[in-house]
Structure 1
């Protein structure tokens, strides 16, 4: 075939490969269109183009490249006059955050709509499978029929958990909406909803159904417990949602967090009633907040090697035994990029400032803090870490809830992989303010396919804690 025919075939076939672009990372932008600034390159073992009839064919190893997307198949044919194109066999599409295949595909250039059969593969953390899918490039929307979604580590012949739906509307880099959706644990149907929406944004934790899966918990001070949570969009929007995070312990009873969240592109707001356990005081202090409103901005890139700035604020009424009153706070934080010290050792840091105001006795407290850490991996079995945090506190709090157990903790630990699924580790925690060894934690880790479980024994306090956490998302 001469150069004219080869170039003409490239131009004619180019229209076909627009069909996959709606799900691409750049699909919502005009730069995704085929143009001199964003050309499409087609390579094939054999190509032909009939000028009079408009028929075009490509055979053999067919490779199509456009921006960061790559499409691979063995045969395609179509017609440039009626703009109908067919891939009768399997086609594979790869891109950043994407690895999809389809058993066959077709594209109508007049309507800018493509059809795919037996589609399956990964979109970020999600794994999707559908009998059929229709992509409308003009609307930047895909509709998958008789489909299910799960996550990367849950994939199996029968996934550990999955969400099946009659149809799933996909809005790239924004959200998905599942209609007549059911949540399964293996073959057990746990929950059915008329409609459910989840996030496909890459800069936030995904809103998902998986957190509704009940999971056990144990702590020597709280007792045996069960946790479950769900987040449901309101009014068809993925920005506004109702959430309920429920925990029940044999020794502490019900500990709920129930409210509404709003997550526009510039931050997240939360209005809730919550019974919350302290994260800075190791004495298992619980506080009741009714109500509590909080704001946290999305990290703002400073353009200095992945350095980010964030802000936060909150207000509410706190109840801790006989101590209660209004509380307000504001703060800002700065995080830097993880820096590789060697091939296997990295350094990370964070700093910030926080100011708290307490109605009780008109108290206030400020905290300028910074933390830094080093993580290393040595061979295929050993890993180690050390971290240090310094809190510079001025003023005081009337609550045990936000009283620091250690103001300047130093943690040193290591972990060894015993088998493919089992590991053990030890961590020592020192309070550098007084030089005392505060905690010695012995931990056993177990890989549970789509979940990770661990049992921690805190020697000096004689406490045992059991955790189960999914690999692909956070409860």
Structure 2
């Protein structure tokens, strides 16, 4: 029979429910496992049914809660490894329960009643836990509550099994959240950097019965990076609106992502519109997409293309109809694009982007081979104090048209000062300058050479926000635009109604608030 402190270490090792982290201290010296970093999707693993629990061996020693905690602390103190800076992998493992047992002869571990296990950012709560140090496994036949603050995960599951040598675990009947995504699944496989959901669902609508969700036979999630779903179906309420063999979504913070659901709206110029984007990977880093846009005043205006995407840039070809914010239409047939994503200049607080395009542009009266490039520099937002933020940017560009053999050169400068009064009130003042000549096409061109824009936003309550904005033409000395916007929170959707007073136009849009 081991001494009490040694027994507690063995229990801590057996209960090292750390998905993706190595054991530390004396526990790590007792049981070691090779570090594994997963770079490929998980295999189609299913959880093993758990039918029986291990009862305490008559020869095992009971350990009371207080002794377990003290022994863990003493062991950590005597271990040289604990003297270095603590990291997630160095974090000690602690387990508390109403009853704790450890068998030296069989390696069985038994914890019952208010079982709580903690290591680093992870916590496991259950009523009954079994494990075996010889098999390097632990299992929970009943309900378990798992939290990982690093993954921002909180899951409720049944039939949990974990092998701390391979660092993979399985769960059944899972419900919970991973970051912003609300998930469920018949079974879930956990790995150091990946979560695999079988026959599961994902949504960001917190309603008891979600307004929308995606279901799929297999969902692979890399929290904070991306999600890939296979044989995915997209639901509005209880109705499937479409399905895709493969669907990919960015999970990076701030990513706009691929909106899988349609937007509906109205504008005085285009009438009622319905827009739907469909996108799917077609090969390694190659993606195909199509935008199915319909306007009652303009008819069916689709566009689509193929793009090759790397972490630093993308290259693609597009074809179809495109509309800018002012309602100017162009048909690209086709256009080749190169986009260099934002890159920082050394250690400076300045980043730059670059894009280039070449293709045939067509409007109602002319056709031209259009060549364009733009280079733009942005300074990090300057926080003048707790309430004022200053944004600065400048850039150059070039446009050449074959129609009249014209070439124009752009120089741009933009600055905006934002002041936040409180959580409800904010206002802004911006100046925008563009040195350019008249271009052949009006599509996506600035309305003014020197523009002063200002406005404010006021949050009336948790569901309603009012915004006012105006644009002043400094060259011609007149008010160019004056917009009034009401934004209403529809729980999982958001609606916005805008009146453009200087143009006497209305605009209304409804889209998902969360996806």
Could you state the TM-score of these two structures normalised by the residue count of structure 2?
0.78
1:396 Cα shift?
4.2
CA positional deviation for 1:234: 1.2
1:235-384 aligned at under 5 Å gives the runs 235=283, 237=284, 239-279=285-325, 282=326, 284-302=327-345, 304=347, 307-384=350-427
What is the alpha-carbon distance in structure 1 between the residues aligned to residue 124 and residue 137 of structure 2?
A: 19
Change (3 A) 1:295 1:419: same
| Cα distance, 1:19–1:302 mapped onto 2, change above 3 Å | same
Instruction: Pick one of 377, 386, 390 that aligns with 2:433.
Output: 390
Which residue is 2:107 aligned to?
Answer: 54
Instruction: Look up the SS of the partner of 2:362 in the other structure.
Output: strand
- Please tell me whether residue 77 in structure 1 is matched to residue 165 in structure 2: no
1:234 equivalent to 2:289? Answer: no
Say if 1:77 and 1:350 are closer, same or farther in 2 by CA, change over 3 A: farther
Residues of 2 paired with 1:311 and 1:58: CA distance?
A: 59
- Kept after mapping to 2: 8 A contact 1:352/1:368: yes
Once residues 386 and 468 of structure 1 are traced to their aligned partners in structure 2, the CA distance between those partners, rounded to angstroms, is 28
Aligned counterparts of 2:330 and 2:406: Cα–Cα separation in 1: 18
Partner Cα distance (1:334, 1:27) in 2: 37
Shift of 1:315: 0.7
Q: Is 1:122 equivalent to 2:177 in the alignment?
A: yes
After TM superposition, give the deviation of residue 133 of structure 1 in Å: 0.8
CA drift of 1:49 comes to 4.3
1:152-194: CA deviation from partner (whole Å, max 9, x where unpaired): xx22111111011233234555544433322110112212334
Q: Please give the alpha-carbon distance, in whole angstroms, between the structure 2 residues aligned to 1:79 and 1:229.
A: 51
SS class of match (2:455) = strand
Q: Which region of structure 1 is more displaced relative to structure 2, 79-88 or 414-423?
A: 414-423
Partner residue, 1:155: 206
Q: Indicate how the Cα distance of structure 1 residues 374 and 384 shifts in structure 2: closer, same or farther if over 3 A, else same.
A: same
8 Å Cα contact 1:97/1:122 also seen in 2: no
Give the CA deviation at 1:115. Answer: 0.9
CA-atom RMSD in angstroms = 3.0
Distance verdict in 2 for CA 1:72–1:349, change over 3 Å: farther
Aligned-partner Cα distance in 1 for 2:448–2:104: 79
Q: Does structure 1 retain, via aligned residues, the 8 Å contact 2:183–2:200?
A: yes
2-side partners of 1:384 and 1:221: how far apart? 29
1:44 counterpart = 2:95 = yes
Contact 1:100 1:119 in 2 (8 A): no
Quick one: distance in 1 between partners of 2:348 and 2:143?
Answer: 44
Greater strand share, structure number? 1
- The more displaced of 49-58 and 422-431 is 49-58
2:220 matched residue in structure 1: 169
Q: Any conservation in 2 of the 1:257–1:273 contact (CA below 8 Å)? A: yes
Gap change, CA 1:319 and 1:193, over 3 Å in 2: closer
Deviates more, 1:368-377 or 1:155-164: 368-377
Q: Distance in 2 between matches of 1:306 and 1:103?
A: 45
Q: How far apart are 1:460 and its partner, in Å?
A: 1.6
Q: CA deviation at 1:462?
A: 0.9
| Matched residue, 1:430 | 472
SS for the counterpart of 2:301 is strand
Structure-2 change in CA distance of 1:71 and 1:305 (3 Å): farther
Q: How far off is 1:51 after superposition?
A: 3.8
Corresponding residue SS for 1:6? helix
Q: Which has the larger radius of gyration?
A: 2
Alignment size in residue pairs? 449
2:144 aligned residue: 90
Q: Residue 400 of structure 1 aligns to a residue in which SS?
A: coil
Match for residue 58 of structure 2? Answer: none
Q: Distance in 2 between matches of 1:122 and 1:350?
A: 38
For structure 1, the 5+ residue unaligned runs are none
Counterparts of 1:278 and 1:348 in 2: how far apart (Å)?
24
- Secondary structure in 2 aligned to 1:164? strand
| Equivalent residue, structure 2, for 1:9 | 11
Partner residue, 2:269: 221
Aligned pairs for 1:394-413 (under 5 A) are 395-413=437-455
Gaps of 5+ in 2: 23-35, 40-80
The separation in 2 between residues aligned to 1:97 and 1:350, in whole angstroms, is: 35
> How many angstroms does 1:439 deviate by?
1.2
CA contact (8 A) 2:157 2:175 kept: no
> Alpha-carbon deviations, 1:42-88, whole Å to 9, x = none?
2333566444432345675634334xx32232464311111121244
Q: Displacement, 1:28?
A: 5.0
What do the CA deviations read for 1:331-362 (whole angstroms, capped 9, x no partner)?
A: 22222333333334333233222222222222
Contact in 2 for aligned 1:323/1:398 (Cα 8 Å): no
